[in-house]
Amino acid sequence: MDRRKFLQTSAGVAGVSLAAPYVARGQAPLTLRWAHFAPEDHPANVAAKQFASRVEARTNGAIKVNIFPNNVLGGPPEQAQQIKLGTIDMGLPTQGQLDKFDTAFAAVMLPFVFDSPAHVYRVLDGPGMDWLAPLAEKQGFILLRNWEYGFRNVTNSVRPINVPDDVKGLKIRTPPELQIQASMEALGATVQAIAFPELYLALSQKVVDGEENPIPVIYFSKFYEVQKYLALTRHVYNNMIHTVGVNTWKKLTPDQQKIFRDESASAGDLMRKLIADGETDQINKLAAAGMQITRPDLAPFRARMEPAYKRIAAYAGEGNVKKFRDMVEAARKS
């Protein structure tokens, strides 16, 4: 081979070897849509942004995540359905949204069953996830990690709540989730389901007397502007679950799937820390904003929950409720 041919051939090979990475870098990234219902300044959105940033960095820009907070793509029930259909790729549904697809999730939200956040995590991150994740996958959902949402508390504009009878007769908004509705109705409240994006207006116009949510939701949604009383009832615990649609999950390589799980765990830990660190401060700020806060003895409230347990078991399945309560008791002793 003469020198000119050799140089032409070598240049061609070099050109191919240099061009291949450039083509890979030039490919459009896989852009995923992630909708959730927390406000932009809520810890859930802070954690979501950390996840998106780290995934993009660790995949060298191959995956980009666009986040749509604050129900801009529809309320929580619609978001869960969109994940299943593939209209959006990821979300943060609670057990209350997922129980519409498999009623086993309904058992998790039994009122007054958990002692503390640590008790919750021992159950839900361990045997609870082992049990529920395969059921979710059959319905089109990949559960990456339990994030946080919190213990729910009651606000209203009528009177302070110190004993169960103080709830009687109040019109309380709940999400369309039997477990929460049953717990309020067992205390004598009249329950009305109102979509979350419409809740602030409904409270301000006194369509309902009150609502119930975790402290960060009450604070970041500014319900203190339209509610006078907050009772720390901690009646139901539920959490956001970082969830990916099955069809989206299949688009990821095994390495990318591992990155998703790693970064979901890291972001979930961040959210839990932000929630825990912020709750006491938020309660103080709610008081400073004019809310009257009560800390009732919860034992009398818990004693009235038997009708709620029966209704939840009828919906979730007695076997599912027993299975979950056994997990809770085992974790309580550990």
**Extents of the domains making up the chain:** 3-333
Residue 278 is predicted with a pLDDT of 92
Pairing of strands 190-193, 171-174: parallel
Rounded CA-CA distance 146/139 in Å is 18
Let me know: does 199 contact 180? Beta carbons within 8 Å: no
Rounded CA-CA distance 59/51 in Å is 12
DSSP reduced 3-state for 22:
helix
Nearest Cα neighbor of 225 from 256, 204, 255, 211 is: 204
Mean pLDDT by 10 residues, the chain (334 residues): 42 37 60 95 95 98 97 92 96 94 95 94 97 98 96 98 98 93 98 94 98 94 97 95 98 98 98 94 97 97 96 96 96 87
Q: What is the architecture of the domain spanning 3-333?
A: 3-Layer(aba) Sandwich (3.40)
Let me know: does 41 contact 262? Beta carbons within 8 Å: no
Length of the chain: 334
277: Cβ contacts below 8 Å, ≥ 6 apart: none
The strand pairing partners of 63, in sequence order, are 30
Rounded CA-CA distance 149/133 in Å is 18
Q: Is the four-CA dihedral 92, 94, 99, 104 of positive or negative sign? A: positive
Residue 26 is predicted with a pLDDT of 57
Residue 162 is predicted with a pLDDT of 98
Let me know: does 99 contact 261? Beta carbons within 8 Å: no
Element (DSSP H or E) covering residue 66: strand 63-68
Rounded CA-CA distance 99/230 in Å is 28
